[in-house]
Structure 1
Amino acid sequence: MTGFRVLKGGILSLLQDTGRLRYQHLGVTRGGPLDAKSASWANRLLDNDPDAALIEVTAGGLELESRTQIMVAVTGGDLNLTLNGEPQPPWRSFWVRQGDRLKFGTPRYGFRAYLAVSMGFQTQPVLASRATVQRDQLGGLDGNGGALKAGDELPCGHLPEEPISREIPMQYLPEISQDIVLNLIPGYQQQDFSKEAWQTLWHSTYSLSQNSNRMGARLEGPAIVTPNKSFLSEGVSYGAVQVPANGQPIIMLEDRQTLGGYPKLGNILPLDGFRLAQCMPGAKIRFKPMSLAEGQQQMRRYLRFFGL
């Protein structure tokens, strides 16, 4: 078998592709990389299909040994990656030979890195996707939603000769910060929230909670007054900002439940959700309003650029 052997699984290392589409009506969430833009860049560096499977490395600790020779690309946060002990900065591709060892340390900046290989990792799709969703026990190496662990063998291709290495031009590198402003597009329930609630949101700074995960980013800060009424459960979209009874906002992410009945302020711009994915617990988060038209324009530009 050609590919990579997992020596250490790290904090949380998951195989991901662009996600499991067209199954939410069955209660199956999409999954996929939390920082989809960084994942798209990793595949772009290698001329991969945009849906090629790669590894999302959260907070570091992943160690791999190569059983093949192939080009790899690393994007996202700088998790102190080394190749045979030599530092490897992110946002570039490089050649890996049989016996080489890749090791992710603790973050220098950012929180998640993306490791792609030429042609993608060749695992078996489940419901037309390789995306790992632990909550649904779907995808990943064995199809049951497990994180990578020591002893796993990750199948991938083999290149007969070394291609030219690439790196992302400076002007395309995203700003990775632990103090961010999220653009919020108010939703159809906006009138159910009081003027006081909206003032609290726009003028407060929130901290990213330790209890955040791939389902949702939980925020801690001044409580937002919730509407004095009940809401029917409905489909929950990516980036929806729910406000439960305690007034602490939750931003719904890739592994969110497909239905929910909490009141929602609206949705953050997905591009800002990718920036949120690089935030560590304790990061400072604020909100500002954005129009639907502006949000659509930015997303069209992004999707067109990566051929998504």
Structure 2
Amino acid sequence: MSTGMRVIKSGIHATLQDQGRYGFQHLGVTPGGPADAVSANWANRLLDNGPECAVIEITAGGTELESHTHSMVAVTGGDLNLTVNGQPKAPWRSFWVKPGDVLKFGYPRYGFRAYVAVAGGFQVPNVLGSCATVARNKLGGLTGDGCHLQPNDFIPCAASSQERVPRQMPDKYVPDLHSELTLYVIPGYQQHEFSAEAWHTFWTNEYEITTESDSMGARLHGPAIAPPSGNLLSEPVCYGAIQVPGDGQPIILLQQRQTLGGYPKLGSILPLSGYNLAQRPPGSKVRFQPMGLATAQQQMRRYLRFFGL
């Protein structure tokens, strides 16, 4: 395919993502997928794409793309100071691009990750049913080996025959990425292994996202949470699991997490909270609040139904 987007500058970290690859965790293959799935799904929704369509995830900015096609593009997520041919372009809307147009992402004004979708989705090969880039497994991406996008990479996509009417998210529905972040936690089956004092420390204190955080996990720093004594067997871990290692500094497991873990776990955050977490840069502060399992399931069902997942 001769139409698509050429990468001029890859920036700090830019990858191709879709919904992820499922059914392979028993082989040590993590699902992957976008860090902020809500924003990624909205990018496709603004273009009437199916939820399975691939998008570009841009972390912390610095990415430049050149259009080699006529198409509608949608950009969602954080405001990374996007310009098109030098003209500012706000996120959470779709717009027309033509050959030679340059999309340049600066550094974040607010938020931390932006998502770029094109009409019909980027046409890239799947590995184990997905193009999701997972560096730790060396799977997915443009070349199938888990590498992030590089300068001069060409990402194919279909051309659009005619310009559509641009769409824009109403301001009242755009996520507030400025407010203090509260992560909702469903306590897990190991909750009783932690002392009442440990739980009090966890619920009543603020934690900071450290610079060691990445797509595998968000490492937090704050008052130490006393872990249970004794050794635990390694076991499968889920998205959002809150591990407490020996130093008492919690780690929240994310998209590219390992499939097994042996640290004790307080529980798991609501995935919707995790998507909000993905938009906070290092240095941001978070707090935790409990949520019942039934309430969490209700919220996730509503989200999944809305996007047809």
- The TM tier, using the shorter chain, reads over 0.9
CA RMSD of aligned residues (A): 0.7
Contact 1:239 1:267 survives alignment (8 Å): yes
Q: Does 1:296 align with 2:300?
A: no
TM-score when normalising by structure 1: 0.99
Q: Distance in 2 between matches of 1:48 and 1:264?
A: 37
Could you give the per-residue CA deviations for residues 46-72 of structure 1, whole angstroms, max 9, x where no partner exists?
000101000000000110111111000
SS at match of 1:135: helix
Letter in 1 for 2:99: Q
Q: Tell me the residue number matched to 1:2.
A: 3
SS at match of 2:197: helix
Q: Tell me the residue number matched to 2:97.
A: 96
Q: Distance in 2 between matches of 1:36 and 1:177?
A: 19
Identity %: 62
Contact 1:54 1:120 survives alignment (8 Å): yes
Contact 1:178 1:284 survives alignment (8 Å): no
Q: Does 1:281 align with 2:261?
A: no
Could you give the per-residue CA deviations for residues 113-139 of structure 1, whole angstroms, max 9, x where no partner exists?
000001111011001001000111100
TM-score when normalising by structure 2: 0.99
Report the alpha carbon displacement of residue 170 of structure 1 after superposing the two structures with TM.
Answer: 2.4
Could you give the per-residue CA deviations for residues 1-37 of structure 1, whole angstroms, max 9, x where no partner exists?
1101110000000000000111111100000000000
Letter in 2 for 1:133: V
Contact 1:178 1:279 survives alignment (8 Å): no
Q: Distance in 1 between matches of 2:220 and 2:151?
A: 33
Q: Which runs of 5+ in 1 are unaligned?
A: none
Q: Distance in 1 between matches of 2:287 and 2:121?
A: 36
Q: Does 1:242 align with 2:243?
A: yes
Q: Tell me the residue number matched to 2:15.
A: 14
Report the alpha carbon displacement of residue 227 of structure 1 after superposing the two structures with TM.
Answer: 0.2
Report the alpha carbon displacement of residue 178 of structure 1 after superposing the two structures with TM.
Answer: 6.2
1:167-206 alignment runs, 5 A limit: 167-177=168-178, 179-206=180-207
Q: Tell me the residue number matched to 1:160.
A: 161
Contact 1:4 1:155 survives alignment (8 Å): yes
Q: Distance in 2 between matches of 1:47 and 1:206?
A: 39
Q: Tell me the residue number matched to 1:210.
A: 211
SS at match of 1:184: strand
Q: Which runs of 5+ in 2 are unaligned?
A: none
Report the alpha carbon displacement of residue 203 of structure 1 after superposing the two structures with TM.
Answer: 0.7
Report the alpha carbon displacement of residue 177 of structure 1 after superposing the two structures with TM.
Answer: 2.8
Letter in 1 for 2:174: L
Could you give the per-residue CA deviations for residues 226-257 of structure 1, whole angstroms, max 9, x where no partner exists?
00121111111000000000000000000000
List structure 1 runs of 4+ shifted beyond 3 angstroms: none
Contact 1:8 1:149 survives alignment (8 Å): yes
Question: How many residues in Structure 1 have an aligned counterpart in Structure 2?
Answer: 308
Q: Tell me the residue number matched to 1:147.
A: 148
Could you give the per-residue CA deviations for residues 85-135 of structure 1, whole angstroms, max 9, x where no partner exists?
000100000000011000000100000000000111101100100100011
Letter in 1 for 2:197: E
Q: Distance in 2 between matches of 1:51 and 1:223?
A: 40
